[in-house]
Chains A and B, each alone.
Chain A
Amino acid sequence: MSITEIVLRLHANSYYFFAILLFIIGFHTMLTHNNLIKKVIGMNIMDMAIFLFFVAIGYVRGGRSPILEPGVNHAFINPLPSALILTGIVVAVSVTAYALSLIIKLYKHYGTIDAEEIMRIRGGGSL
């Protein structure tokens, strides 16, 4: 496969490509950062990547929103993934809120939001 072919293929599948890229960025942020808030941000980026991927499945190139009108014949996008992802977003928001409230409590107990620091204060174990 030549370089042009690869680029063309990536362009044709750009939604998936960028979704995977975002997923890796989010996952990397979540694993490598010690700051708990950054961990939560990474978690959100990862969630968003999955949502993008899911919504992109339902997209039809040149398709319209699926509102049926008599006499008009068009390609429609698949509305189901978008509807499902609305639920997914609600879940992600509530998980984020809960995680942040836990971080506030951790800050009250330890005076820091750095995972290494918390580990040191606690002596052993890992977060």
Chain B
Amino acid sequence: MNFSQHLPALIVVVPLLFAFVMPLLARWRKQWCVPVTLGAIIFSFAAALQMAFQVMSTGPFSYYMGDWPPPWGIELGIDYLAAFAALTINGVGLLIIWFGSKDLLHELKPEVLGWYYTLYLLLMASMVGIVITNDIFNMFVFLEICAIASCGIISIKESRDCIEAAFKYLVLSVLGSGAFLLAVALLYMVTGHLNFTFMAEALPEAMVLYPNNLLVAMGLLVVGLGVKAALFPLHVWLPDAHSSAPSPSSAVLSALVIKVYAVAMIRLLYLVFPRELLGIAPVMEMILWMSTLAIIIGSMFAIVQDDIKKMLAYSSIAQIGYVFLGVGLMSESALVGGILHIFNHATMKSMLFLAAGAFIYGTGARKLSELKGIGHTMPIPTIAFCIGAFSMVGIPITSGFISKWYLALGALDVGRPFFTAVILISSLLNGIYYLPIVVNAFFSKPEEAVPAPKQLPREMLVPLALLSFGVILFGVYPSLILGIVYRAAQLLLGL
């Protein structure tokens, strides 16, 4: 029994433990809150890195909680997808909260700052839990923790809009969790197992005996997780929730939280449900069309927005469509593109939200029309915003290009060039709403004289710089991360 053997459990337990230490620290030693939070997430990041190396060198492995083997105990299964998602969550989450340590000071009341770190650590722990667990009820528990924590980081800023958005999000999240739990009940009824592996073994037989049970369960899972992942037409809560929240919350919600549900859905649809069931009900076809609508309509809504954060929120609806497009096409390249887009969108969308947060911090401007000429007064956030915008459009040497490329190839592989056209059209639409901001930021003058913006502290500039460096790095050398993504896709498709 050595230490590194327990990393799959510790990666969840350590942030969970520090989440509950945080309120005490906030009372007793206020200045320790930030370093301790960063320390806990750095630990999780290191653990995720170690797990990813282990998975790449020796293959997927599992961890039995309390040494109880499944089907009795809870199993954590670390496969390629789980290691990849855990790495993404902790890496991006670390940079966001590092930025947030200064940004939150002006957005929140000082007495709730400690609680913010509690909620943030809870959110990190539950997200990692969702992606690495191999037990469906355990997943439900993490889903609920994640739902409450993500509503919490919105409503902690006690403005009217935030409370209202958080309430709407909470009601729809609970609806989604209810659908998920009902699906768990239906699956447990016919298989007698809660462990993914055992369920997958029992389902082909159960499918013959009780096909209706399984179809209803699958429908409930897709709807339940779809509401939480903001898959179009279930996205109604997202624009308000993501735009009214404090900037670090918006960044983590848009970049990570909605992706985690997509990862959960990928694992359930590909690894648990038998492939023949997908033949009976056209679930994948439905996901394809929903994601196509999401991509087109999300972008169209984004074009007409005037508030920068609202525009980014609508753009997230379109971008989650790409991930689901990769899931629905069921070809290797498309799935690689979809999974890769989870990481790429996490880096670029968090960067865009943080850059928007930096503009709000510096000048207080939220309207796109107030951002004219911002490139001269706040160069570093504007350059980061530009790189993010180029990556969203999918211009080569940025990482957004790579995932779109794989998605387009995947659509051609299965002989459906229509979806390649959808990707091209949506790139144009992305260009329509991102590029004018970039052009205006550098080449136009503000209408009236504006006071010089506040100087950004180093804690806010370094994460922005690191994220933009990451977007370029993974755009130029995608092979750094493609290895694990390829193996994840092959494992999911059973190649």
Residues in chain A near residue B177, CB distance under 8 A: 91
Say if the beta carbon of A24 comes within 8 Å of chain B.
no
What CA separation (Å) do A125 and B182 show in the bound complex? 30
Say if the beta carbon of A66 comes within 8 Å of chain B.
no
CB of A109, distance to nearest CB on chain B (Å): 5
Say if the beta carbon of B265 comes within 8 Å of chain A.
no
- Contact indicator B148/A127 (Cβ below 8 Å): no
What CA separation (Å) do A88 and B178 show in the bound complex? 10
CB of A53, distance to nearest CB on chain B (Å): 5
* A103-B181 in contact given A84-B137, A98-B151 (Cβ < 8 Å): no
Say if the beta carbon of A50 comes within 8 Å of chain B.
yes
What CA separation (Å) do A50 and B184 show in the bound complex? 10
What CA separation (Å) do A7 and B447 show in the bound complex? 75
* A109-B170 in contact given A87-B141, A98-B151 (Cβ < 8 Å): no
Residues in chain B near residue A23, CB distance under 8 A: 182
Say if the beta carbon of B167 comes within 8 Å of chain A.
yes
- Contact indicator A102/B167 (Cβ below 8 Å): yes
Q: Which residue of B lies closest to A78 (CB)?
A: B192
Say if the beta carbon of A95 comes within 8 Å of chain B.
yes
What CA separation (Å) do A28 and B188 show in the bound complex? 26
In-complex Cβ contact of B163 among A39, A109, A126 (8 A): A109
- Contact indicator A127/B167 (Cβ below 8 Å): yes
Residues in chain A near residue B144, CB distance under 8 A: 91, 95
Q: Tell which of B155, B168, B178 has the most Cβ of chain A within 10 Å.
A: B178
Count of CB-CB pairs between chains A and B under 8 Å: 72
What CA separation (Å) do A81 and B182 show in the bound complex? 12
- Contact indicator A54/B174 (Cβ below 8 Å): no
Q: Tell which of A50, A87, A122 has the most Cβ of chain B within 10 Å.
A: A50
Residues in chain B near residue A50, CB distance under 8 A: 178, 181-182, 185
- Contact indicator B141/A127 (Cβ below 8 Å): no
Say if the beta carbon of A57 comes within 8 Å of chain B.
yes
Scan residues 74-100 of chain A and give those whose CB is less than 8 A from a CB of chain B.
Answer: 81, 84, 87-88, 91, 94-95, 98-99
Residues in chain A near residue B174, CB distance under 8 A: 43, 47, 95, 99
Residues in chain B near residue A43, CB distance under 8 A: 171, 174-175
CB of B55, distance to nearest CB on chain A (Å): 30
CB of B401, distance to nearest CB on chain A (Å): 36
What CA separation (Å) do A95 and B167 show in the bound complex? 11
What CA separation (Å) do A99 and B167 show in the bound complex? 7
In the complex, 8 of the A-B residue pairs with CB atoms within 8 angstroms, ordered by the A residue number, are: A23-B182, A46-B175, A50-B185, A54-B185, A81-B185, A88-B181, A102-B166, A102-B170
Given contacts A106-B164, A125-B240, 19 further A-B contacts (CB under 8 A): A30-B171, A36-B167, A39-B171, A46-B175, A50-B182, A53-B182, A53-B185, A54-B181, A57-B185, A87-B137, A87-B141, A88-B140, A88-B181, A95-B144, A95-B148, A98-B148, A106-B163, A122-B164, A127-B164
